Structure 1
Amino acid sequence: MDDAVVLGKKGYSLSNTLGEGSYGKVKSAYCDRLKCNVAIKIIDKRKTPRDFLEKFLPREIEALRRLHHPSIIKTYEIFETSAGKVYIVMELGEKGDLLDYIKITGAMKEDIARIKFHQLASAIKHCHDSDFAHRDLKCENILLDEDLNIKLSDFGFSKSLSRDENGRTILSKTFCGSAAYAAPEVLQGIPCDPRISDIWSLGVILYTMVYALMPFDDSNVRKMICIQKQHRIPFPKSKYLTVECKDLIYHLLQPNVSQRLCIDQVLKHSWLQTPKSRLPSPLPAAEEGECSQNLREGKPEHKLQAKSHSAEREGEGKQKGPS
């Protein structure tokens, strides 16, 4: 049965396509019951690999059903038809994703970035406190509502944490996500607590918010890992940032997992409190543009769009928001 017919019977009027992947798509629709526009992810199970059906889709649905937070995209309904199609009805990110927003508006002022980043970090705290790691944090997976509030989305790579008989977190051995946002331990295939790897991705996102640049050029992953492990972070002199903001980025992008902040420490960081110091940063800074990557240069798409390096799952379509 046609998607429009199936959804029409449930009170949804389908509209334009927001995103499309190898075996799924996201469309916008109007919901008669909610009296608002929504996003509907449509997954055809007949066209999806077994790994996705057995591992990733159940994890995503579990996360969507369990995670409820003001800065996480709301899930209204999940249902499946006898024809093998899964429909996930979600809150619509009216203003699109964070990457597109930054490309259009440029780097954020610190006061604005502080508000947005606090919303995002609060959403991640909720995930981590609920024993979930997102594992695919990137600007494209952060949507904006009508009032430009952060809405974390796309839990297709998320994982519910398991513990051994001694109560210790079982480390993740699967590389998934996007090279430009992935922590060095993930890129190197070192077993890790995926919550700590999420923190690194937060550092890349915060850097991108305040500079409208990527901190590392992922066109040569081996070289990028070398730079990351040396804790070399380029702080362009063309834009002034407070000591606190640079300090937070510096500690988020900490290659040593034992020294990287946990999410509670992130939220307690001085930059996320009332701004104080306006002094130049004493932190070591690479020369401008040494290894950062411009979001607006029109580089090849693989450098602008985060790349999936997982052999287990391709993107099944994500919400992009109205064009």
Structure 2
Amino acid sequence: MAVCIIAMIIFSSCFCYKHYCKSISSRRRYNRDLEQDEAFIPVGESLKDLIDQSQSSGSGSGLPLLVQRTIAKQIQMVRQVGKGRYGEVWMGKWRGEKVAVKVFFTTEEASWFRETEIYQTVLMRHENILGFIAADIKGTGSWTQLYLITDYHENGSLYDFLKCATLDTRALLKLAYSAACGLCHLHTEIYGTQGKPAIAHRDLKSKNILIKKNGSCCIADLGLAVKFNSDTNEVDVPLNTRVGTKRYMAPEVLDESLNKNHFQPYIMADIYSFGLIIWEMARRCITGGIVEEYQLPYYNMVPSDPSYEDMREVVCVKRLRPIVSNRWNSDECLRAVLKLMSECWAHNPASRLTALRIKKTLAKMVESQDVKI
């Protein structure tokens, strides 16, 4: 009996030792794999180089996942630059290059997943849509961080920019035209084997548009976006409890008359929001030495954090729109911009302009003012 017990102890010890050696070996191999992953990107390769290579490779859907994970692992977080209901935004560095790192709360996983999915849509990359670099999940079972890594724009959002900067007519047109180009690309379906679905943003506002160094805009925050593929006639709405920003919601969203089974209504709701953003820009345009202070749309009609009922009363029942200064009518450029925004925020969605029409109208104005885009 004692011999059997001793034999069992020896067997168990051998088994445990063998298992321990195997786990050590696996860990070493895993660490080696990580080192190989991190050495996967040659020294001297910039983010632009990597993205250009991925674009020319023909996939059109962003960097390979292994490269994305490698970049995410190598980023150094420098400082927090923003915070929202979804999480935080940090300025980070990858091999000396500045990047923006959006860190989502774990409760916002659906937003992270959707935004990552949209950014990696084929042919999504455009100069007026925030440049996507990588996405990754970091942490253990009890602690998780959801990372979305994009280009970094030190001027911040359009909201931040307009609060402290004034515009001349050329700067106004550059901002408006570039934002319209980004929206038009989102809304447009590109046909073919390497095609792109039409996409509606669903949360357009000045805080979700960023200002590039050259004074143009790029559209960001695609966590609520809806996709449409005409081949299947399917409207792909994210499984997300988050809703858009009430202040910028179209009348049909506020009164719940929007037909969620069709894609076009989502597009038209974006156009309404875009009209409000143009209004924000136009207020900060100096003409005749006069300019209005920065304000959010409906600032004098609803509280700072309006309820659905507040917005419904103003936008749907009273059918009011943001107040326009008399000076706009005495300036040729602002008069044309006023006409444009009025056709964007029309109560009837069918009466609103398309993003393509907005883009073409602004392109003519840009040309007439000799604006360098």
Question: Could you say whether these structures have the same fold, taking a TM-score greater than 0.5 normalized by the shorter chain as the test?
Answer: yes
Say which structure, 1 or 2, has more relative contact order (CA 8 Å, 6+ apart): 1
**Correspondence 1:36 to 2:97:** yes
Equivalent positions of 1:213-224 (< 5 A) are: 213-216=295-298, 217-219=301-303, 220-224=310-314
Change (3 A) 1:7 1:13: farther
Gaps of 5+ in 1: 1-5, 279-323
- Out of 68, 91, 97, the position equivalent to 2:151 is 91
1:8 CA drift (Å): 9.4
Change (3 A) 1:224 1:175: farther
Provide the TM-score with structure 2 as the length reference.
0.62
Change (3 A) 1:43 1:15: same
SS in 1 for 2:221: coil
Residue in 2 that maps onto 1:297:
none
State whether residues 171 and 215 of structure 2, in contact with CA within 8 Å, keep that contact through their aligned partners in structure 1.
no
**Correspondence 1:113 to 2:176:** no
**Correspondence 1:268 to 2:360:** yes
**Correspondence 1:150 to 2:205:** no
Residue in 1 that maps onto 2:120:
65
One-letter identity of the residue aligned with 2:360: K
State whether residues 59 and 159 of structure 1, in contact with CA within 8 Å, keep that contact through their aligned partners in structure 2.
no
Provide the TM-score with structure 1 as the length reference.
0.71
1:132 CA drift (Å): 1.0
State whether residues 71 and 94 of structure 2, in contact with CA within 8 Å, keep that contact through their aligned partners in structure 1.
no
Equivalent positions of 1:15-34 (< 5 A) are: 15-21=78-84, 24-32=87-95
Q: Deviations over 1:26-82 (max 9, x none)?
A: 2111110xx41111112353xx1xxx43x4332211111122110111111112235
- Out of 197, 203, 225, the position equivalent to 2:315 is 225
Equivalent positions of 1:164-313 (< 5 A) are: 167=233, 176-192=243-259, 193-211=265-283, 212-216=294-298, 217-219=301-303, 220-226=310-316, 229=319, 234-239=323-328, 240-242=330-332, 243-269=335-361, 271-274=362-365
Cα distance in 2 for residues equivalent to 1:222 and 1:199: 18
Cα distance in 1 for residues equivalent to 2:368 and 2:214: 29
SS in 2 for 1:72: coil
Of residues 205-214 and 20-29 in structure 1, the stretch that sits farther from structure 2 once superposed is: 20-29
SS in 2 for 1:255: coil
- Count of aligned residue pairs for this structure pair: 261
1:147 CA drift (Å): 2.7
Give the number of the structure whose alpha-carbon radius of gyration is greater: 2
Gaps of 5+ in 2: 1-68, 189-196, 260-264, 284-293, 304-309
Cα distance in 1 for residues equivalent to 2:366 and 2:249: 29
Q: Deviations over 1:107-141 (max 9, x none)?
A: x3332111111111111111111311111111111
One-letter identity of the residue aligned with 1:249: M
SS in 1 for 2:114: helix
Cα distance in 2 for residues equivalent to 1:227 and 1:210: 26
SS in 2 for 1:120: helix
Cα root mean square deviation, aligned: 3.2
Cα distance in 2 for residues equivalent to 1:276 and 1:82: 51
